Structure 1
């Protein structure tokens, strides 16, 4: 007698149910890594110049403010240094030039513009750089300027100071 399809199906099911199930399992570890390096960017946003504007030659202690913008990796310690400019031999002799004529000025880390606030490029003990710590967001850093006297020949005076971030 030949088995019918339904009997054959039931027989196969019975054998499958009676047969032991053999399953194998194996594992491995998968490493996931990232290396994040610190960075500080001082030129993401254009600087705002220290523009003393148009003043009469009798003006004294002309104050103005510019701005740098810095963006550093969160927790990254940094310093910002300002050099002597094109016409200064040190930070205490910065000058704007119009031809051979020179107008002295100073840049400061604080709006009080005191002698201890002069912003330069000296690091370490007695340094005059600006120190900070990154937040991961762009941070505006004011640069305070003062020219003690405008008693110089009429003209447009300029200087270029290089700002450097070290981290």
Structure 2
């Protein structure tokens, strides 16, 4: 009887150790990848117009503010250029128009509204574009305007300026 017990115990032990004696493992590695490209969006959230409102013809240095809304990839450097408008030969001759009547105005990158703050489309040394860096959220970029003199015929005047972002 002892021999049956020994055989059963031996068989049980052999079965337990047989499973682990034949177990094996192997492994490999793999990469997880993602490429993110920079982007800037300047048109999804509409710009706020520079609206000088209604003023008398004797008004001088009429100021108004508008805004551009830009959303760029975080840490993406960008510049925003403003063109001459529909009626200006260059950024220093921007004009609003009604028929043949023209009213000069200027757009600036800063509230000080000095000649150094004129906002245009020149990049590089001596450039007059707005520079910024993306945050991943919509950034409000103010546009400061000035009409030096309203001494023109009593009409409503308009112009259209195109803002272009480069990143």
Shared fold, TM over 0.5? yes
Q: Which runs of 5+ in 1 are unaligned?
A: 1-7
Q: Which runs of 5+ in 2 are unaligned?
A: 1-6
**1:80-137 per-position Cα deviation (integer Å, ceiling 9, x unaligned):** 0000000000000000001111100000000000010000000011100011111111
Residue aligning to 1:106: 106
Tell me, in whole angstroms, the C-alpha distance in 2 between the residues paired with 1:85 and 1:24: 75
Does 2:146 align with 1:146? Answer: yes
Q: Tell me the TM-score normalised to structure 1 length.
A: 0.91
Q: 1:11 offset after TM fit, Å?
A: 7.3
Between the two proteins, the alignment pairs up a number of residues equal to 163
Tell me, in whole angstroms, the C-alpha distance in 2 between the residues paired with 1:133 and 1:110: 17
Tell me, in whole angstroms, the C-alpha distance in 1 between the residues paired with 2:43 and 2:79: 15
Tell me, in whole angstroms, the C-alpha distance in 2 between the residues paired with 1:18 and 1:107: 85
Q: 1:10 offset after TM fit, Å?
A: 6.7
Tell me, in whole angstroms, the C-alpha distance in 1 between the residues paired with 2:14 and 2:119: 89
Residue aligning to 1:16: 15
SS at match of 1:125: coil
Residue aligning to 1:161: 161
State the superposition RMSD in angstroms.
2.0
Q: 1:43 offset after TM fit, Å?
A: 1.4
Alpha-carbon distance change, 13 to 106 in structure 1, aligned in 2, over 3 angstroms: same
